[in-house]
Amino acid sequence: MKYAVISDIHGNTEALEAVLADIEGNGGVDGVWCLGDVTGYGPEPGACIDRVKGLVTWCVAGNHDRGSINKIDLSVFNEHGQAALRWIQTQLDPGQQAWLGTLPLTAADGGFMLVHASPTDPLLEYVLSIGIAERNFPFFKTKYCFFGHTHLPMVYKNEGGIVTATPLTPGVGLVLGETKMMINPGSVGQPRDGDARASYGILDTDGRIFRIHRVAYDIEATQAKIMKAGLPVHLATRLEQGR
């Protein structure tokens, strides 16, 4: 079976559509797992919800998904995040709000745990260091955990208690063996590793391999929509920087 693993779409329709087209171009998949933050920051939260809810096998809740329906204190977000969430709260229809409210904090499918931020703190903790990853390994029972939130494609491996971190790049497959791992597919709609292209992964459970894919999209179109919506300028400029 093949699964697309997508995360952190953040209301970016152009990036999402480019990724979905790329998935089809790679032969399609049997299911789609979404690691949360369908909304937040970007100009088309409702359109992204409508697109994602029709195609995901699983979607877990991200902090911005909760913020979009006022189900998390907005003080946990920076000023740009808060400004966008206040606007998003006025943009979603009741069906879209209800769907965000149904998203679970975690899910598990075929030996893979899915979570937005971290196993110990599913909504807020940033797994940005070996120390933080190390502390989280005991908190999932499956062999592998997919997570998002940092927007950085990365794998943390735990080999006999020794935890290592490796950035994930396109073309280099990650072999899924006996080693316990925490894997981040990067962000579809707001990459932060210096590569502005949308990031996602394809998991092949028969071949036991996970591969990152990067996809160019029409960044200027998304930026124009951000400006038209009156969202913070920084949210537009960071897209071209991939930071």
Contact 89, 64 (CB under 8 A): no
Which amino acid is it at 27? G
Phi, psi at residue 138, to the nearest 5°?
-70, -10
The mark string for 204-233 relative to Zn ion (x by CB under 5 A, - otherwise) is: ------------------------------
| CA–CA separation, 5 and 129 (whole Å) | 22
In the bound state with Zn ion, the residue whose beta carbon lies nearer, of 38 and 176, is 38
Judged by beta carbon, residue 62 or residue 119, the one nearer Zn ion is 62
- Segment contacting Zn ion by CB under 5 A, of 34-42, 98-106, 163-171, 222-230: 34-42
Residue whose CB is less far from Zn ion, 8 or 44:
8
Tokens read off for 166 = 């490796």
Identify the residue among 37, 44, 65, 125 touching Zn ion (CB under 5 A). Answer: 37
Nearer to Zn ion, 67 or 176 (CB): 67
Nearest 10 degrees: Cα torsion 129, 76, 185, 54: 160
Residues between 7 and 26 with contacts to Zn ion, criterion CB under 5 A: 8
- What is the C-alpha to C-alpha distance for residues 138 and 51, in angstroms, rounded to an integer? 35
Q: What are phi and psi of 183, to 5 degrees?
A: -125, 130
Nearer to Zn ion, 78 or 161 (CB): 78
SS3 assignment, position 20: helix
Q: For the CB of residue 50, give the shortest distance to Zn ion in the complex, in Å.
A: 19
- In this chain, which stretch among 29-37, 51-59, 172-180, 230-238 interacts with Zn ion, using CB under 5 A? 29-37
Residue with the two structure tokens 């160019």: 216
Burial class (CB in 10 A: 0-12, 13-18, 19+), 172: exposed
Minimum Å distance from CB 9 to Zn ion?
9
Of the candidate spans 37-45, 101-109, 152-160, 202-210, the one that interacts with Zn ion by CB under 5 A turns out to be: 37-45
Taking the complex as a whole, the smallest distance from the CB of residue 186 to Zn ion amounts, in Å, to 11
User: How many CB atoms are closer than 10 A to CB 1?
Assistant: 10
Give the residues lining the site for Zn ion (CB under 5 A): 8, 37
